[in-house]
Structure 1
Amino acid sequence: MLGQLFVLLLLKSPVLSCMFQPAHNSSSIYRCYIHEGEPVFCKCPPVPSVDSNITWFRNGSQTAISTDTQEKIFQENGYLKIIPARRDDNGFFTCVFQNAEGCQQHIIELNVFQNDDGLCYNFKMLYPFEYFQSESITIQCPDIQAYNIAAKSAKWYKDCKPLNLAGGRSKYYISSNNELNINNVTKEDSGNYTCETSLMHRGTEYKITRSMNCIITATPEARKSNIIYPTNNYLSVELGAPLTLTCKVEESGRGITIVFWNYSDDERVIEGTNENIVTADGKRFVYHNLTFLSVKEEDYNQKIVCEAGPIDADSSEAYVILKYPDPNFQGPLIAIFAVGAFFIITSLIVVKFFKVDIVLWYRSSLFSRPHLNDGKAYDSYIMYPKNATGNSSYEMDLFVLKILPDVLETQCAYRLFIIGRDDLPGQAMADVVDEAISQSRRLIIVLGNVSNESTLGEDFEQKIAMYDALIRNKLKVILIELEKITDYSCMPESIKYIKQKQGVVRWKGEFTEASLSPNTRFWKNIRYRMPPAPRQSDSELHYIYTED
């Protein structure tokens, strides 16, 4: 019960209740450094408003630090003050401040250090400063404003040796109001400087020191600005078109970079103002525009100059020259490409569907070669199925012995060899077949629906023909289906192979006078597969003309 009452009383205190809330920016710990034996005034970051109420606590304690200035550790005017600081004062403190917007708390780590052996400073606690070599520089004694020290000259040391502020070098070093002025600065003035002043507290004077590492670097030489664009280049632009030119300049790093365009004062030419941009990698660029409301004839072939540079250095120049646009061949090239593509596609389609007619036309033209003079006696050897007695069907005999010769021999001037028609009685059949096939340029195989009684020629005839066509590759084969064959399972493997590789030519319809014209689709396909026939005039050939 008493514990609950104690917690309730704590929560009624605005400061203590704030400490029970999550700390604002609790991930950040601020640090306060001081040399042992010196007074330290630690500030509560960030600097609160004037009407803020600040309370300090030792970290982990709920008892506020005393405000009694007679104590060694006390708080006054928002500062944590320890006079003097000792090594056992190291640790963490919490400052809580309130205003109209609420309350916040921060953690401050106090680090009381000692000087390095034989030195008047701790190397790790030096304030870093960097100055450019110039006629004079001023070094201020840092972080002593909160001590309200009466205005007086501090003592100054360089590398722990006192500086002679009077006498022969008094014009070189001048000390005033806790500041050190150095004239005629050179790189030799680099070093570790220490300022020493004092604070009176309760009748005791306490020493306050600050040490700084000052580096003097050579003043960067003035260099010309780097103009990224323009690059003394030409620019194509249409007559009468609006145009905006942008001068892009990388700053030289010394002084203010001035950028401007040096061109006509015509009202239609408007010059903009500088736009400064800093990139993520720290580079600084200046952009400056020049706008043409409309480009005129007088603008062509003229240098439009951009000048840029710092005030105290020579400026850089770069120009751009306007020119008329180059002829645009894109449209004609696209048209030519489209026409060419159309022509190629059309040609491929024509060749695909009219290949047979084109080849036959070329053979009949004056550009074709004459009939092959290879010593062959026949243009084609004809092989067709016969039954066991050596006979064939009526339709097969009619087609092979009558129709084929009428069209290919009589009308197209081809020479055919047909067993039973062109062999002589008494000749050895195997020798006749072998000789005739070897003297032929093509092998025409006529197929019909196969019955059990019919075979594709004599066995020796088929073997000789297939050997020359498939093994010796001396004959090109033309397969003709006299009627549609749906089942090739009973056919020899050689016939199946030939059909798979090059297809067949199928006869359609009846044997009529119109079907005997060499200009029908069937006979054109046969003539296309046959070797070129001898060129003869129409009067020498007996064509049967039809509308097909």
Structure 2
Amino acid sequence: MAFESLIIPFLMFLSKATTEELCPLRRSIDVLEGEYFFLCFPGSIRDNLRSKTYTVTWFKENEGKINLIQETHRLVLNGRFLEFWPAELSDLGNYTYILSNGTYNVTSQKWSLNVLKRSKDSCFNTNHLSRQVKAAGRSYTLKCNAVPHNKNVTITWYKNCNIYNSTKEEELHFPSLTIEDSGNYTCDVSISHAGKAFNATSTIELMVKDDAAEVVKLEIIEPGEIYVETQIGKEVILNCTVFLGYSNAAKPTYLLHWIDNSLNSCSENTKKEQSICEKEYNFDSGNKKYASKLLWIKTVKEEDLNCNYTCLLKTTNKPQLKIFKLKKGNPPDLHPHVFTTGIIMAVFFTLVPVLLVVLSVIFRVDLVLFYRDITGKDDTIGDGKEYDAFVSYLKDSISTNVEERKFALEILPRTLEDHFGYKLCIFERDVSPGGAVVDDVQSFIDKSRRLIIILSRNYISDRAMYELETGLHKALVERKIKIILIEYMLISDYNVLPKSLELLPSRRVVKWKEDKSLPSNSRFWKNLRYLMPVKASKSNIRSHNNSESYLRRRNSSDNCVLGV
């Protein structure tokens, strides 16, 4: 008896190598809703125990409850196979089986089945694909992983959701890979069951890389004339950026500089001694490399508005130029003359000048917000943007970021949207799942006026870092968006963040101080509103509507009195 109780697990171990492809023993399996799928245990276990009669029973565990699986028209118990015709979202859970001969039971390890939603915009789900990176020039074979144990099927191959030639085989063979062979390959398996047609799909992202360095043309981003808005007496930084190629390519030879022989490098000493200098730095955005040459003008003068600032790129090809011109921008929310007039008048009154200066420094943000409220100014009208801000935060399932998720999904929108009338774009809340994540992030950032980045010690993840790099590129290079950094928790290691983050002004960083920052009139929300687009708050809108309603009622009352 003791020997018989040990032989079943032993045979399971021996049969794993020959049946692993057909009956995978993975702990976690992803399957798309609406597709045929099956679970099974190795057939050699049953075949090697023919002297005894063994029965198999399947169980499903979900939310702590274990239920016996009964056969239905959709869930079919076919020997050692548990078949789904098709899989539904409700099938999510953990599955086990018990193999029994009436005396001894053997229970397998759990399968954790995760049922994914189908994409409405694509023939595959980006979370349901495998990636293969291969070198160009070599032969390679793609195998369809969706073929079931029933071989009586029809197979159709797609590349980037378009039908790929006329092959109906389980494998695609490439005698010699090229860069053009890169793409998403989807095999669609059609299966007949009970008079109905069912499908099972498998998608492989094939990336073909050339070992040789890719020849890339160095070029200045947005060549030609660029107008930069500024104010007299303010500082301005002109950014000349060059695309250098890709990360796997050798560093090219080039010379990038501003045409001015009097320029020196922007060191700490030169910044204090001269009014204009230049500084160069390199940065990466995804797999692309860039170089930027910054021209720092400490104080803009009236005559500077008539000058051309030219950036020159010299390579082995024809030199390229980029010309910057300065122009006066719109006056700030609170005009400097308001402070100047107040100070001149206060000279004649004892200590009033000192008091005004101190108050204007301490309550600068409050004054600007008060000015916006009383004027009802709204700069968002007609700018073509849909959202006031795109919110980027850590989205990975890390147990230590529960409070951070609550802040991003509840506290932040409750105050900015419900109380102050802003419209936020939160990817996890507002974007329907199933699309291409990279394209969605780019699109929604382009539709937003600000990019709010919630930085914490857990912020580092692939998606969050991509959103950060995209926002920095649009802010520093394309100048299409302004970034607001919320320091939610103290970050222990800044080295993992992009170096270009240091170029952002320190005044655009807002620190969260837990309970102290919760009230809507706290310093945190005031600083955040100060950095957000100029927009009338909900309280002002309600006050304006109430005033109009009151005037209408009064006019109506007057008309009744006059007998109109």
Provide TM-score, normalisation by structure 2: 0.32
Compare CA radii of gyration and give the structure with the larger one.
1
Instruction: Give 1 or 2: higher helix fraction.
Output: 2
Query: 1 or 2 for the larger relative contact order (CA 8 Å, sep ≥6)?
Result: 2
